[in-house]
Chains A and B, each alone.
Chain A
Amino acid sequence: MSYTRRDFLKATLGASTLLSFTHAAPNFLVRSLMAGEPQSDDRDTVLVVVQLSGGNDGLNTVVPYGDDEYARNRPTLRLPTKDLHKIDSLMGFHPRMGAFMRLYEEGYLSIVQGVGYPNSDRSHEGAMRIWHNANPDQPNRQTGWLGRAVDSVWNPNKTNAPAVFVGPIAQPFALNAENVVVPSIRSPRDLTTGQMPGYPKNKSQPKHAAKLPRADKGNPLLGFLQHCTLNACANSQRIKAATKASTNTTEYPSFQLAATFRTVAQLIRADVGIRIFFTEFGGGGIGGFDNHANQLGNHCALLHQLSESVAAFVHDLKRDKLLDRALLMTFSEFGRTVRENGRRGTGHGAAAPIFLAGGKLKSGLIGAHPSLTDLDNGALKFHIDFRRIYATVLDRWLGFESRTVLGRQFELLDILNV
């Protein structure tokens, strides 16, 4: 990558901010401020997971309009062919997903079709658990796949938080780790140091006392805490600077999800070592995508918000030349039944598409669309196991070892340009 993180910091924080640090702070602190902590393999790629809670109807998201079975199974829910954003002679995006169509055309969006797993679970809790722990054979496993991922790369010399959950609901199980504490935040402010009322800015930072040498040199924990305190102060400063720098320049629609993505973008920009961001759309649990009746209007609004928010995020990162570092991935606990249910809604299904967004994608449409007639108990059959996508993201994107995280080596997909 020609554009380094340091260049970026200079660009966003402005030379003056950095200079003001250099005057006041001793050398080793400046070094840690400038360079951050060394990444184990020098990768600075970031994964952004978007959970669509409730079970998204993949058929009405990326529509197989060219297959007559679609219209036949969806007498009231079928979307008019003329309104679709056509990808090819078979598939088209939902009418309100114009933003996704544009991203797709620009090469910033991929669709992985027919993603699922054997013996699909049709309960929200059970299916979500499977996507979170990535181990359908051991539903009682106590850690989530991303929790295991951060545990697998933990080392005592790296004191940045490796993952965060951004959102107002309880932290999803995917992030449950055995060892590492993964913070839940709602805004960047939750990761910056607050201020005692009536006290001049940044003067009450503990960094001055933290950097002094200590008499108890034999205590490894004291040195560790000194180092962590300085790193935490430095990260907090970076986040404050990055938040300030981006507030006025970036256009995001006024959706909650867009605000979440803005937070993620600010934290990527701050470059504080967070490799995994987990976000949620739909309200958690049995969420907004669970449309058993009168699905059309609600689903339409959700897809519109999703595509507009993701597009704003992509363009924000692109403007700062950060898009090549980011990969966004959506998932939902299941798709819906092919046939609508008589109440203008759909039941719990199985396979569904996953969206990927970012600057390093290989191709647009990945895998074939599942058959609308050869079904798994009324729902689409999968032909790409979701753990192959997880494995690809871990091995090829994050540089973590997927075998450690997923328990075995899944066949990787050739979907990333890395």
Chain B
Amino acid sequence: MAVQIDKRASHNQSRQVHPAVAEKLTDPQWAWAAYQPDAQQPWNLTQAGHLFRRAAFGAGWDQLQQALSDGPQRAVDKLLRPQVDLAVFNRAYDGYEASAAGSIDGLRAWWLRRIIQTPHPLLEKMTLFWHSHFATNSLKVKNPRLMLRHVQLLRSQALNSFRDMLQAISRDPAVLICLGADANRKAQPNESFVRPLMEFFTLSPGHYTEKDVREAARAFTGWFALRGRLRYIPREHDGNIKEILGESGNFAGDDVVRIVLEQPATARTIVCKLYRWLICETEEPDAMLIAPLVESFAKDYDILKLAETMLRSNLFFSPAAYRRRIKCPVEFALGIVKALEGVVSTTQLAQDLAGLGQNLYHPPTVKGWTGGRHWINSATLVGRYNLALALLRGSGPYADKLNPWAVAKRHGCSTLKSTMPFLFDLFLQSSHDPDVYETVLKTAQAPAGIGSDDPDGVLRRFAHLVVTLPEFHLA
């Protein structure tokens, strides 16, 4: 194995958007065509790392190398449709979660562990996406079993049909309780579900009226969540004509879901949001650019197909997407864990991630985690620094589960000199400026403190310096 920092490549391959590319960025035909490596955008470690940061939670060295030899389209295939028996894995974890469902802390820990161990990381990445989208908060639901079922629902549809997912969400007791829509009487139509349904889950503001909300609430009358169970009480249903988004009829809840899905605004909301999650969050996508995706998604609401188009695309592998997203705390921490091929205590990790602003099962409001630059302030950055330190120090609450030196040796490094560039590539995938590498190298080695000959200690410090670089916070 020859690991080398290729300075020439870093110099030549400036990551600024080339004028010719900039022009193409607004051209939907080019943007969504499948990426074919060429001299300008070759398939290399940088691109492979980018793919695993977005479609997974980072990768180990073997995965990166495998992707390099597979080429981009095959690497994307494997992330979209892994050739493994996923059912066995998920059944096992469903069992662990069911036995931990007495407490939400247990559920948080098992979910993180599932993310670390899963053979299908994209599924978990999308489950996390939908968790933030529907933003059901355990503090309101106060029933871990309902929360467990809610996240299982999200997982079962995360890469399937948005239509089926929305239908199931409209009948999920956890969602109804969280939103205060657990009783919807004929005499007092409850808008607490249909309002966020229209405002955040589907249409977005400006695409419906107050009257639509009121009428849709009437269509949902009769539905209750009583003692954690969904109930339909026919005599509480308002059987009169309702007028919703230009259609009128004796509608029930399912009709509301059908009607909002018929609106192009719904497809646009989801495409825009997924664009931020998978491609780029620095600017809103141009309406023309995403038009083909919106049109296609509106036809079948096939999430896998939408994600597939995005992940295979020229745009995804272009400089316009590169490091154009800030990692959420889960991505930050698991980026370290996945690279170093260990399994750490996820009970502790869930708690530390909550401190950084991402408390799984507890999105702050019905809008989910806003994320982006909001993840970062001087306190959360110090928190990330200290979490990385705790993960890498080899003792303390995370014990000695992550060991950079051991990982490097496993992949053929035998000296400090060869290991440092290896770790740099492992964490940042060559996407660095040479000066930055030199400076990190100097900082890690310079003050010959106690045990500076001890590669284990030096490499832990080196790894810590790398994962606290500004670049590492970008997905």
Residues 363-385 of B, flagged 1 when their CB comes within 8 A of A and 0 if not, give: 01111001001111111111101
Is the Cβ of A225 less than 8 Å from the Cβ of B474? yes
Tell me the complex Cα distance, A212–B465, Å: 14
Q: Are A196 and B464 in contact (CB under 8 A)?
A: yes
Least CB distance, B159 to chain A, in whole angstroms: 27
User: In the docked arrangement, what's the CA distance between A195 and B386, Å?
Assistant: 8
The reply to whether the CB of B70 lies closer than 8 angstroms to some CB of chain A is no
Is A253 part of the binding interface, using a Cβ–Cβ cutoff of 8 Å? no
Nearest neighbor of B443 in chain A, beta-carbon distance:
A208
Q: Which B315-364 residues have C-beta < 8 A from chain A?
A: 319, 322-326, 355-357, 364
Q: Which residues of A contact B186 (CB under 8 A)?
A: none
Size category of the binding interface on chain A: 35 or more
In the complex formed, the residue of B with least CB distance to A210 is B470
Q: What range describes how many residues of B lie at the interface?
A: 35 or more
Docked-complex contact B282 and A183, CB < 8 angstroms: no
For residue A192, CB closer than 8 A to chain B, the reply is yes
A181 touching B356, Cβ below 8 Å:
yes
Contact in complex: A222, B323 (CB < 8 Å): yes
Q: Which of A208-231 contact B (CB under 8 A)?
A: 208-210, 212-222, 224-226, 228-229, 231
Q: Are A181 and B474 interface neighbours, CB within 8 A? A: no
Taking CB atoms, residues of chain B closer than 8 Å to A199 are 447, 449, 457, 461
Of the listed residues A183, A184, A192, A200, the one surrounded by the most CB atoms of chain B closer than 10 A to its CB is: A183
If the complex has contacts A161-B379, A209-B440, A228-B381, are A219 and B323 also in contact, measured as CB distance less than 8 A?
Answer: yes
User: A228 with B376: in contact, given A140-B192, A194-B389, A216-B15 (CB under 8 Å)?
Assistant: yes
**Which among A171-179, A285-293, A311-319 touches the partner chain?**
A171-179
Q: Is the CB of A183 within 8 A of B470?
A: no
Q: Which of B325, B367, B457 contacts A198 (CB 8 A)?
A: B457
B374:A181 contact, CB within 8 angstroms: yes
Find out whether the CB atom of A231 lies under 8 angstroms from the CB atom of B378: yes
B33 an interface residue at 8 Å Cβ cutoff? no
Q: Does A142 contact B (CB under 8 A)?
A: yes
A180 CB–B CB distance under 8 Å = yes
**Cβ-defined contact, A210 with B364, below 8 A:** no
Chain B residues closer than 8 Å to A204, beta-carbon distance? 443-444, 461, 464-465
Cα distance A121–B319 in the bound complex, in angstroms: 56
**Which of B10, B326, B376, B394 lies in contact with A159, CB distance below 8 A?**
B376
B69 near A: Cβ within 8 Å? no
Contact of B378 among A159, A176, A180, A222 (CB under 8 A): A159
A31 to B: closest C-beta gap in Å: 16
Residues of A within 8 A of B377 (CB): 159-162, 180-181, 228
Q: What per-residue 1/0 map shows which CB atoms of B458-475 lie under 8 Å from chain A?
A: 001100110011110110
Q: Does A337 have its Cβ within 8 Å of any Cβ on chain B?
A: no
Interface 9-mer from B85-93, B213-221, B286-294, B431-439: B431-439
Q: Type the 1/0 row for A262-285, where 1 means its CB is closer than 8 Å to any CB of B.
A: 000000000011000000000000
Residue A246 at the chain B interface, CB threshold 8 Å: no
Given the complex of chains A and B, what is the CA–CA distance between A143 and B365 in angstroms? 7
Nearest CB of A to B319, in Å: 7
Minimum C-beta distance from B450 to chain A (A): 5
What is the bound-complex CA distance between A342 and B465, given in angstroms?
64
Collect the chain A residues with CB atoms within 8 Å of residue B326's CB.
221, 225
Asked if A400 lies at the interface with its beta carbon under 8 angstroms from chain B, I say no
Contact A198 B473 (CB under 8 A): no
How far is B450's CA from A197's CA once the two chains are assembled, in angstroms? 10
Q: Is the CB of B470 within 8 A of A222?
A: yes
Partner of B282, one of A161, A206, A221: A221
Which residue from chain A places its CB closest to the CB of B471 in the assembled complex? A222
Closest residue of chain B to A177, judged by CB? Answer: B364
Check B393 against A197 for contact (C-beta < 8 Å).
Answer: yes
The answer, yes or no, to whether B17 is at the interface (CB within 8 Å) is yes
Chain B residues closer than 8 Å to A176, beta-carbon distance: 364-365
CB pair A183–B395 under 8 Å, yes or no, is: no
Q: Is the pair B380, A218 in contact by a Cβ cutoff of 8 Å?
A: no
Asked if B180 and A140 sit within 8 Å, CB to CB, the answer is: yes
Given known pairs A184-B355, A208-B443, A214-B436, the reply for A228 and B385 (CB within 8 Å) is no
Q: Is the CB of B374 within 8 A of A179?
A: yes
A272 touches B378 (CB 8 A): yes
CB pair B383–A183 under 8 Å, yes or no, is yes
**Nearest CB in chain A to that of B364: its residue:** A176
Do the beta carbons of B443 and A215 come within 8 Å of each other?
Answer: no
Q: How far is the CB of A35 from chain B (nearest CB, A)?
A: 15
Q: Which residues of A contact B364 (CB under 8 A)?
A: 142-143, 176-178
Q: Give the distance in Å from the alpha carbon of A160 to the alpha carbon of B377 in the complex.
A: 5
Residue B84 interfacial (CB < 8 Å): no
Is B248 at the interface (CB under 8 A from chain A)? no
Q: Hey, which chain B residues are within 8 Å of A180, CB to CB? A: 374, 377
The chain B residue sitting closest to A184, CB to CB, is B355
A206 in contact with B385 given A176-B365, A179-B374, A232-B378 (CB within 8 Å) = yes
Q: Is the CB of A224 within 8 A of B14?
A: no
Alpha-carbon distance A272/B192, docked complex (angstroms): 40
- Choice from B439, B464, B468 contacting A212 with Cβ under 8 Å: B439
Q: Does B365 contact A178, Cβ atoms closer than 8 Å?
A: yes
Counting chain B CB atoms within 10 Å of each CB, the highest count among A143, A231, A236, A272 belongs to A236
The answer to whether A194 and B465 touch (CB under 8 A), given A203-B447, A222-B471, is no
How far, in angstroms, from A225 to B468 measured CA to CA in the complex?
A: 10
Contact A206 B365 (CB under 8 A): no
Take A191-B379, A209-B465, A222-B323 as given contacts and tell me if A215 and B433 are in contact as well, using a CB distance cutoff of 8 Å.
yes
Task: Encode A148-183 as 1/0 by CB contact (under 8 A) with B.
Answer: 000000101001111010000000000011111101
C-alpha gap A195/B15 in the complex (Å)? 33
**Residues on the A chain within 8 Å of B15, using CB:** 215-216, 218-219
In the assembled complex, the CB of B386 is this many whole angstroms from the nearest CB of chain A, namely 5
Please name all residues of chain B whose beta carbon is closer than 8 Å to the beta carbon of A332 when the two chains form the complex: none
Which of B373, B439, B446, B447 sits near A209, CB closer than 8 Å? B439
Instruction: Please determine whether A219 and B378 come into contact, CB atoms closer than 8 angstroms.
Output: no
Q: Which residues of B contact A195 (CB under 8 A)?
A: 389
Residues B469 and A193 in contact, CB atoms below 8 Å apart: no
A161 engages B380 (CB within 8 Å): yes
State the CA gap A172–B471 with chains docked (Å). Answer: 33
CB-defined contacts of A235 to chain B, threshold 8 Å: 378, 382
Could you give 18 example pairs across A and B, Cβ below 8 Å? A160-B377, A161-B378, A180-B374, A181-B379, A181-B380, A191-B378, A191-B379, A197-B393, A204-B444, A212-B435, A214-B436, A215-B433, A219-B474, A221-B323, A222-B470, A228-B376, A232-B379, A272-B378
Chain A residues with CB under 8 Å of chain B are: 140, 142-143, 154, 156, 159-162, 164, 176-181, 183-185, 190-200, 203-206, 208-210, 212-222, 224-226, 228-229, 231-232, 235-236, 272-273
A-B complex: 6 closest residue pairs judged by Cβ atoms: A181-B357, A225-B470, A161-B379, A216-B15, A232-B381, A142-B365
Q: Name B's A-contacting residues (CB within 8 A).
A: 10, 14-17, 180, 192, 282, 319, 322-326, 355-357, 364-367, 370, 373-383, 385-386, 389-390, 392-395, 433, 435-436, 439-440, 442-444, 446-447, 449-451, 457, 460-461, 464-465, 468-471, 473-474
4 more CB-based (< 8 A) A-B contacts, given A210-B470, A214-B433, A215-B16: A140-B192, A160-B378, A215-B15, A215-B433
